[in-house]
Amino acid sequence: MTRPPRADRPLYTRIATALKGRILSGSLTPGSRLPGEEHLAANMGVSRSTVRQAIAALRESGYVVSRRGSGSYVAENPPVEPLSVRSGPVYTGFLEDLADESQHVDELQRAREEISATPPVAADLRIPVGSPVVRFDAVRRRHGVVYGVASDILPFHIAEHITSDVLERSATIGDALAKVGHRSEENLQRVEPALLGDADARLCGVQPGSPALVLTGVAYDGTHTPIDSYTLTIISGYGIGLSLTRASRPDIT
């Protein structure tokens, strides 16, 4: 499942984004054939020419290859590696909601820690297991009101340029990355329900066990290089257009 692209984008771009979401979520696997233009046009309520423009955009960006007389196929090695199959929806443009109002967002209680990349982090950042990385943790606010906690893990060679001065001038780690020449151009993330543990609940000023949404994913720069393996936990009440549901499984933390 992908978040619908923003309505202010050209129609073909929105169709391309929706198809890319299906690729990155694993619904359309590498090497598989895309549905025909006629089928896509009817299914999405657009013209075949719009579908052709969308496929051309995906082809130009490396997500699709076309074979004369055969159709269009998902690239065997797309620029951004699809997420592994697991439960939970996948969103390809979700963080735009936050980026659009970045002037209203800031971070408190920032902490910086140099650690070694675990296997999941190494896979996200495409680095060897055990490589040096830097983890930034912070409490997030919007309009001065706490709405969650953020954790960003960056490759050391990037994080070392994010000095205390850069941090002081940056509302979020994403802003800091942009200031040191590593602007996030694409994000791939999952959104799943959770219940807040004691530590996060205390930071957010709510009761342990309160419902939340957890965004986990990877940010890529303009060269499709992963620059940030992140987690953003959002408490109930933050207006992001998704309903929060209390998880019933006791093992969710």
Q: State the pLDDT confidence band at 121, using cuts at 50, 70 and 90.
A: very high
Q: State the pLDDT confidence band at 96, using cuts at 50, 70 and 90.
A: very low
- Residue 248 scores a pLDDT above 80: no
- Residue 95 scores a pLDDT above 60: no
CATH class of 11-79: mainly alpha
Give the per-residue pLDDT at 238.
59
CATH code, 96-235: 3.40.1410.10
Tokens representing residue 18 in the block: 């929706």
CA atoms of 167 and 113, how far apart (whole Å): 14
Query: 3-class SS at 236?
Result: coil
Q: State the pLDDT confidence band at 239, using cuts at 50, 70 and 90.
A: low
Per-residue model confidence as pLDDT tens digits over 211-223: 888 888 889 988 8
CA atoms of 181 and 90, how far apart (whole Å): 27
Q: State the pLDDT confidence band at 40, using cuts at 50, 70 and 90.
A: confident
- Residue 103 scores a pLDDT above 70: no
Closest CA to 125 of 105, 90, 95, 152: 152
Q: What rounded mean pLDDT belongs to the chain? A: 80
DSSP state of 104: G
Domain ranges within the chain, ordered by starting residue = 11-79, 96-235
Give the per-residue pLDDT at 45.
82
- Residue 93 scores a pLDDT above 60: no
